């Protein structure tokens, strides 16, 4: 059973076309053949009429009718004579008969003149069927030429009609997992409209569901911030009190726990907001300036750990985006570099333009990301198989969702030069002039 609709249509139509071609050919051939035979009979009759009035002395092919049709007129005389063939002919009645002459099958017309002498107009059966066959075959030419043409046209039409469907399928395949924009009908046949409408309805419901989920995360993160702030205040109040060294140790642990939780909530909120943001205002953002601002904030931590953090290239590169989102991209990447680079390491930052893209690049001297972790590294909460240090695993997801939103890209590569390791993170965003 053929699974493809195209294949089925084509096979079905081919069978119909070939069958009707064959039937048409058979009938056309038969009719034309019989017609040609009758034509030849009437030629014999005409020659007979002509020979009645002017006797032909010798048996010879009659020219002028059709040189190739080999019609001969045979004088049979008034009484039976000559070879047995001729005597047999003489004894036949006037009219058209099938007979034999010199061992060959013939069609023969017998006529008796007023004076009683008889003659025969004869033509070999072989030549007759050859001529009739030729004539009949020629009538098949148009049908024979039509069938391949029809097949070709059918194949073309079927191929063309299915193209919009294939285009839509390709479009869906090429989409990112969270791309739920409706499909554009663009030339799709009307039979496909119900299908398209259903798919678009499904995509719409999916978008609603995704939005709902994001809103829930955003709301939850937001709601949790208020009690967390109250808790932080209480901790700070505790901090002011004179407590035993043991209690102070606990208090410090509590404080860093609070800080981590606040960071996690901020990241969650940032991620949920990123995905929700669709009509958010965007403006001209100078990436180099934003990067400098972010780096200034992180410099104390880097310096404290003797990490050499600085720009090796800083050119003007302007993008059209939400400035908070851009700062978040840079912050998350530089934060990672600072966090995962061992003390005394080095972090180089670059901002520049490359063709139509603004490029931001961070290179550190940390351990890099194990190749096995690379595949899932952009997933929320994924921190690799052997997580180190504290973190939420949301940073790179936030970066990814932001650059995707602005039709940019992020690339992570491990630096594998001799005697050093590290990660090179490169963000590319469309530049504006
Ligand atoms: N510069 C880096 N060097 C080494 N590993 C990194 C670097 N940046 C990110 N990673 C790895 O990717 C994981 C995910 O990063 P991220 O999404 O920022 O989450 P987090 O930093 O909160 O763990 C990290 O846990 C870490 O294992
Ligand atoms: Mg991080």
Ligand 2 centre to CA of 340 (Å) is 9
Does the beta carbon of 367 sit less than 6 angstroms from any atom of ligand 1? yes
Beta-strand ranges (E) seen in 39-94 are: 60-61, 71-77
pLDDT of residue 177: 75
Quickly state the pLDDT bin for 64 (edges 50, 70, 90): very low
**Protein residue closest via CA to atom 13 of ligand 1:** 383
The C-alpha atoms of residue 217 and residue 263 are separated, in whole angstroms, by: 15
Give residue-wise pLDDT tens across range 103-117. 888 999 998 888 888
Query: What is the pTM assigned to this prediction?
Result: 0.64
Report whether pLDDT(279) > 60.
no
Ligand 1 centre to CA of 414 (Å) is 13
Average pLDDT for the chain: 88
Whose tokens are 């035993």? That residue is 244
The C-alpha atoms of residue 269 and residue 70 are separated, in whole angstroms, by: 103
Ligand 2 centre to CA of 287 (Å) is 20
Q: Give, for ligand 1, the residue of 259, 395, 411, 420 to mutate: max count of ligand atoms closer than 8 Å to Cβ.
A: 395
The residue with greater pLDDT, 291 or 80, is: 291
Report whether pLDDT(275) > 80.
no
**Protein residue closest via CA to atom 18 of ligand 1:** 395
What percentage of residues in the chain have a pLDDT greater than 70?
94
Query: Of 344, 366, 360, 345, whose CA–CA distance to 399 is shortest?
Result: 360
Q: What is the mean pLDDT of residues 149-166?
A: 89
The C-alpha atoms of residue 107 and residue 72 are separated, in whole angstroms, by: 11
The C-alpha atoms of residue 137 and residue 143 are separated, in whole angstroms, by: 11
Give residue-wise pLDDT tens across range 394-419. 999 999 999 988 999 999 999 988 88
**Protein residue closest via CA to atom 7 of ligand 1:** 336
Ligand nearest the Cα atom of residue 370: 1
The C-alpha atoms of residue 21 and residue 62 are separated, in whole angstroms, by: 40
pLDDT of residue 304: 96
Give residue-wise pLDDT tens across range 209-236. 988 988 898 899 889 989 999 999 999 9
pLDDT of residue 188: 77
Ligand 1 centre to CA of 270 (Å) is 17
Report whether pLDDT(60) > 60.
no
Atom number, ligand 1, closest to the C-alpha of residue 394: 17
Give residue-wise pLDDT tens across range 180-201. 888 887 777 788 889 889 999 9
Query: Crossing angle for the helix pair 245-276 and 395-405, nearest 10 degrees?
Result: 20
pLDDT of residue 2: 72
pLDDT of residue 165: 83
Ligand 2 centre to CA of 85 (Å) is 115
Provide CB contacts within 8 A for 169, sequence distance 6+.
Answer: none
Report whether pLDDT(284) > 70.
yes
Region of poorest pLDDT, from 160-164, 244-248, 371-375? 160-164
Ligand 1 centre to CA of 349 (Å) is 17
Report whether pLDDT(271) > 60.
yes
Does the beta carbon of 368 sit less than 6 angstroms from any atom of ligand 1? yes
Domains of the chain: 5-148 (no CATH), 190-271 (1.10.287.130), 280-430 (3.30.565.10)
pLDDT of residue 280: 61
**Protein residue closest via CA to atom 12 of ligand 1:** 383
Tell me if 428 sits within 8 A of 359, measured CB to CB.
yes
Beta bridge partners of 85: none
Ligand nearest the Cα atom of residue 340: 1
Atom number, ligand 1, closest to the C-alpha of residue 386: 27
pLDDT of residue 409: 95
pLDDT of residue 58: 52
Give residue-wise pLDDT tens across range 355-377. 999 999 999 999 999 999 999 99
The pair of three-digit structure tokens given for residue 164, joined into one six-digit string: 């919009």
Q: What is the mean pLDDT of residues 411-430?
A: 93
Q: What is the mean pLDDT of residues 314-337?
A: 94
The residue with greater pLDDT, 433 or 35, is: 35
The pair of three-digit structure tokens given for residue 267, joined into one six-digit string: 């990241």
pLDDT of residue 403: 94
């Amino acid at each position: 059973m053929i699974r493809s609709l195209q294949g089925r249509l084509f096979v079905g139509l081919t069978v119909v076309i070939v069958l009707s071609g064959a039937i048409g050919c058979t009938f056309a051939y038969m009719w034309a053949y019989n017609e040609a035979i009758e034509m030849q009979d009437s030629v014999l009759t005409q020659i007979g009429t002509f020979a009645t009035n002017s006797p032909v002395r010798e048996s010879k092919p009659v020219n002028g009718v059709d040189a190739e049709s080999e019609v001969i007129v045979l004088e049979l005389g008034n009484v039976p004579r000559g070879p047995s063939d001729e005597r047999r002919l003489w004894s036949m009645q006037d009219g058209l008969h099938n007979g034999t002459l010199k061992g060959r099958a013939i069609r023969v017309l017998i006529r008796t003149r007023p004076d009683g002498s008889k003659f025969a107009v004869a033509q070999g059966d072989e030549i007759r069927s050859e001529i009739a066959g030729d004539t009949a075959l020629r009538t098949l030419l148009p049908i024979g030429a039509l069938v391949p043409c029809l097949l070709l046209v059918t194949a073309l039409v079927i191929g063309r009609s299915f193209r919009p469907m294939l285009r839509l399928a390709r479009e869906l395949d090429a989409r990112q997992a969270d791309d739920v924009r409706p499909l554009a009908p663009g030339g799709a046949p009307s039979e496909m409209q119900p299908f398209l409408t259903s798919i678009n309805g499904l995509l719409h419901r999916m978008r609603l569901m995704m939005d709902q989920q994001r809103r829930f995360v955003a709301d939850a993160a937001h709601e949790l911030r208020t009690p967390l702030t109250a808790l932080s205040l209480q901790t700070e109040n505790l901090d002011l009190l004179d407590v035993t060294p043991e209690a102070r140790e606990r208090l410090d642990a509590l404080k860093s726990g609070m800080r981590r939780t606040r960071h996690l909530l901020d990241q969650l909120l940032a991620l949920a907001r990123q995905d929700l943001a669709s009509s958010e205002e965007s403006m001209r953002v100078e990436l180099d300036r934003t990067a400098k601002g972010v780096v200034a904030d992180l410099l104390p931590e880097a310096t404290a750990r003797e990490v050499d953090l600085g720009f090796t290239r800083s050119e003007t590169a302007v993008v059209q985006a939400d400035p908070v989102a851009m700062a978040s991209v840079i912050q998350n990447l530089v934060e990672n570099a600072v966090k995962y680079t061992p003390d005394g390491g080095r972090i180089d930052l670059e901002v520049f333009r490359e063709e139509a893209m603004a490029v931001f690049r961070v290179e550190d001297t940390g351990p890099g990301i194990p190749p096995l972790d690379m595949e899932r590294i952009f997933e929320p909460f994924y921190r690799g198989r052997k997580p180190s240090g504290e973190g939420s695993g949301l940073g790179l997801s936030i970066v990814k969702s932001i650059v995707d939103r602005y039709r940019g890209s992020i690339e992570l590569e491990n630096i594998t030069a001799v005697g050093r390791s590290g990660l090179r993170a490169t963000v590319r965003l469309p530049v504006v002039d």
